[in-house]
Structure formats: structure tokens, C-alpha cells
């Protein structure tokens, strides 16, 4: 039997994975946050409980309930049982989150890769349009973190080529988030 995961960052970009049955979904009671852990050199997205927030993402199947490959990709996280909403249906799923005791704020030594952010926002633009990308920024904390512009030579292993429009959206939304708009 297949299980399901709720993806809220790079997993929203279908081009970064081949998990079947991916479809838009929402998760209530969680908020995204940029974190760093000793398990990774760079900052990445996690979620933390927040009863006042609802985030969008994708829910997808884990074929045969074989979580090994996804657990390897998400090695700095722990899985949590959640209920995602797809339309009017509730779906049991797992969400990956870094335990609060292991999460630290990004720093100049552990910045956010722009190529990672690009892949995430491209996914939100594809699934939810510009308004969805805006909601991604609004439901994510930590925009004061340092950003490493690696677009010319991406360090993120699942980096995606963006269109001029997508690049402009990322740049404008990032600038607005960093200036508190």
C-alpha cells in the first residue's frame, strides 16, 4: 500500500521528483521556516507547528510505502503524521520537519541557495500561479537569512532553469519579503 507525503518546498516542483499521483494540497497548522542544521552545510526549508497558518504544497504517493529514497533525500528531517486536504477530501500523509532542537537560523556560513529557492518558486508558480508564489513567501519565515546567488553555477543538485518571467518573480518576491512588504 502506498503512503503519501506532503511537499511544501522543492517537492512542489514536479520536475524535482517522479512520485506518482502528485496533486495540489493544503496543510493547516504548519508554517515554513528557513533553517540550518549540523546535518547540512546550507540552509533549507522546514516547517514548524503554527495553528494560525495554512500552507499550500503537493501531496504525492510513495509507491509501495517504500520511503527509503524519499527519506534519503530528506535526511535532515523527521516525518510527522498529518492530514492534508486535496479539494474537499482529507488525506493521511507524512510531512518532513526538522526537530526544533536541531534547527538553527541560517547564517553567512550557512546561507540559502538562490538555485534552491528558484526551484521552489518555479514549482509554486506552476501549481498556484503568481498568487500562490506570493502566498509561499507570506507563509515562510526567515527571509532575513543570507542568500548565496549561485544561479550562474548552481550548487543545488535539483536546480532548474527558469524562464525570464520566473526569474523576475523570484527576484521581486524575494526583494519584497526582505524589505517587509
- Measured distance CA(11)–CA(57) in Å, rounded: 8
Domain hosting residue 31, numbered range? 3-178
C-alpha torsion 43→155→177→137, nearest 10: -80
Per-residue pLDDT at 181 = 59
pLDDT at site 59 = 96
Reported as a single tens digit per residue, the pLDDT across 21-69 is 899 999 999 999 999 998 888 999 999 999 999 999 999 999 877 898 8
Write the CB contacts of 67 (distance below 8 Å, at least 6 apart in sequence): 3, 79, 94
Instruction: Identify which of 16, 8, 12 has the alpha carbon closest to the alpha carbon of residue 161.
Output: 16
Residue-level length of the chain: 181
Separation of alpha carbons 53 and 100, rounded Å: 18
Cell of 43: 540552509
pLDDT for res 180: 75
pLDDT less than 50: residues of the chain: none
| Biggest distance spanned by C-alpha atoms of the chain | 46
Question: Which residue is it, cell 527509503?
Answer: 68
Report the DSSP pairing between strands 44-62 and 3-7: antiparallel
Q: How many domains, in total, are found in the chain?
A: 1
Strands (E), 63-101: 78-86, 89-97
Q: What is the distance between the alpha carbons of residues 5 and 127, in angstroms, rounded to a whole number?
A: 17
- Start-to-end C-alpha separation, the chain: 45
CATH code of the domain covering residue 64: 3.10.490.10
Amino acid at each position: 500500500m502506498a503512503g503519501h507525503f506532503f511537499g511544501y518546498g522543492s517537492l512542489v516542483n514536479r520536475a524535482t521528483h517522479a512520485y506518482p499521483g502528485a496533486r495540489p494540497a493544503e496543510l493547516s497548522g504548519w508554517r515554513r521556516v528557513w533553517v540550518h542544521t549540523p546535518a547540512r552545510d546550507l540552509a533549507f526549508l522546514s516547517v514548524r507547528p503554527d495553528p494560525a497558518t495554512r500552507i499550500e504544497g503537493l501531496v504525492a504517493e510513495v509507491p509501495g510505502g517504500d520511503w527509503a529514497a524519499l527519506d534519503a533525500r530528506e535526511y535532515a528531517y523527521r516525518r510527522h503524521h498529518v492530514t492534508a486536504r486535496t479539494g474537499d477530501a482529507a488525506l493521511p500523509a507524512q510531512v518532513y520537519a526538522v526537530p526544533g532542537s536541531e534547527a538553527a537560523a541560517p547564517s553567512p556560513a550557512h546561507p540559502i541557495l538562490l538555485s534552491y529557492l528558484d526551484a521552489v518558486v518555479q514549482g509554486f508558480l506552476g501549481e498556484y500561479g503568481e498568487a500562490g508564489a506570493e502566498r509561499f513567501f507570506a507563509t515562510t519565515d526567515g527571509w532575513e537569512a543570507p542568500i548565496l546567488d549561485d544561479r550562474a553555477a548552481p550548487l543545488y543538485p535539483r536546480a532548474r532553469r527558469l524562464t525570464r518571467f520566473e526569474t523576475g518573480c523570484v527576484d521581486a518576491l524575494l526583494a519584497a519579503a526582505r524589505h517587509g512588504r
